[in-house]
Amino acid sequence: MDYETILTETRGRVLLITLNRPKALNAINAQLTREVIRAATEADTDPEIGCIVITGSAKAFAAGADIKEMQHTTYAAMYGGDRFADWDRFTAVRTPIIAAVAGYALGGGCELAMMCDFILAADTAQFGLPEIKLGVMPGIGGSQRLTRAIGKAKAMEMCLTGRNMDAAEAERSSLVARVVAADTLLDDALRTAGTIAGMSKPIAMMTKEAVNRADETTLTEGIRFERRVFHAIFATADQKEGMAAFVEKRPAKFTHG
Ligand code: CAA
């Protein structure tokens, strides 16, 4: 597949998606949206891919939704086209997705990172939802996901002032899983992705689904969901293999079934 706004590369069982609109600091336009979603959804059904990494450049993961593309848009076009609803197909991807963020992750860029399963940040990363400074507000889930990630007080302050958060503050606030040196970010992300991709793909998918339930339902329902999925895992070959490998003191060889 020939993409124009992203680069894709397979490293073992990991798909690396690199956002590639350098002149616009990887601003998210309609084409980049289509291409990222297509690459991720195709990988989701590919048994040879066990984890996806999304990254940008050293300067910018992504500096937001494309302001120039949106500038003259009307309410009718926004509402009629249900702008940004396509991202629901990205968040429905069941394969684990890591955002490897260096530089600016602002507005839609921060929102894309938060739509991934977790964020690994370079020490150069800057996160923010500066939409209010443009006379708009977050539109790809930012007001909801940032609040769930870091709590109301900090999320409210960030959304209302539009200020950025550096990598250290993002780690303290639990927005990111881990901060690493900028020059090792991609290697760290690919190594972490390789670890995940080495697990059973169906079990990793079920684990992702269960963790995501925590954001969406009550504790009682979430625990019921977890228990039912746990029971179902005993119908998989990978459960048999994983436990046999432990007992036989050898590495597990998952068949992803
Ligand atoms: N959309 C379109 N183009 C953008 C862009 C964006 N979000 N961010 C940067 N660019 C473009 C700039 O217009 C510039 O293009 P030209 O060379 O043609 O002028 C190029 O990328 C380089 O940017 P700068 O010259 O501004 O680079 P800088 O180093 O001086 O500043 C920055 C970097 C602080 C990130 C600055 O570019 C910036 O503030 N960008 C906008 C950030 C922002 O407001 N994001 C939110 C967008 S709205 C949104 O995302 C809505 C939503 O929730 C869905």
ipTM of the complex model: 0.98
Residues above pLDDT 70, as percent of the chain:
100
**Same domain, yes or no, for 208 and 192?**
no
Of the residues 181, 198, 215, which one is the last residue of a structural domain? 198
**Same domain, yes or no, for 51 and 178?**
yes
Pocket test for ligand 1, best of 25, 59, 104, 132 (most atoms within 8 A of CB): 25
CA distance 66 to 230: 42
The binding-site residues of ligand 1, defined as CB within 6 angstroms of any ligand atom, are 24-25, 27, 63-68, 104, 106-108, 111, 130-131, 134, 136, 138-140, 142
b/e 145-157 (16+ beta carbons within 10 angstroms → b) = bbbebbeeebbee
pLDDT tens, residue by residue, 208-240:
999 999 999 999 999 999 999 999 999 999 999
Enclosing domain of residue 54:
6-198
Which long-range contacts does 224-228 make (Cβ < 8 Å, 24+ apart)? Answer: none
pLDDT tens, residue by residue, 142-155:
999 999 999 999 99
Split into its structural domains, the chain has a count of 2
**What is the CATH number for 80?**
3.90.226.10
Q: Catalytic site residue 248?
A: no
**Same domain, yes or no, for 70 and 178?**
yes
b/e 29-57 (16+ beta carbons within 10 angstroms → b) = beebbebbbbbbeebbeeeebbbbbbbbb
Rounded to two decimals, the pTM is: 0.98
Atom from ligand 1 closest to the CA of residue 108 = 50
Does the residue 254 lie in any domain?
no
Alpha helices by DSSP H, listed for 23-74, are: 30-44, 67-70
Does the residue 151 lie in any domain?
yes
Give residue 198 CA to ligand 1 midpoint distance, Å.
Answer: 37
pLDDT tens, residue by residue, 135-192:
999 999 999 999 999 999 999 999 999 999 999 999 999 999 999 999 999 999 999 9
Q: Catalytic site residue 64?
A: no
Q: Catalytic site residue 131?
A: yes
Give residue 164 CA to ligand 1 midpoint distance, Å.
Answer: 14
**Same domain, yes or no, for 77 and 192?**
yes
| pLDDT computed for residue 183 by the predictor | 98
| pLDDT computed for residue 206 by the predictor | 98
Q: Is the distance from CB of 231 to CB of 212 less than 8 angstroms?
A: no
**Same domain, yes or no, for 42 and 140?**
yes
Give residue 65 CA to ligand 1 midpoint distance, Å.
Answer: 9
| pLDDT computed for residue 12 by the predictor | 97
Per annotation, catalytic residue among 43, 131, 142, 155: 131
**What is the CATH number for 236?**
1.10.12.10
Atom from ligand 1 closest to the CA of residue 24 = 21
**Same domain, yes or no, for 230 and 157?**
no
105: which strand partners? Answer: 62, 127
Give residue 191 CA to ligand 1 midpoint distance, Å.
Answer: 31
**Same domain, yes or no, for 169 and 224?**
no
pLDDT over 80 at 1, yes or no: no
- Structure tokens, 48: 């040879």
- Structure tokens, 143: 């007001």
**Same domain, yes or no, for 42 and 145?**
yes
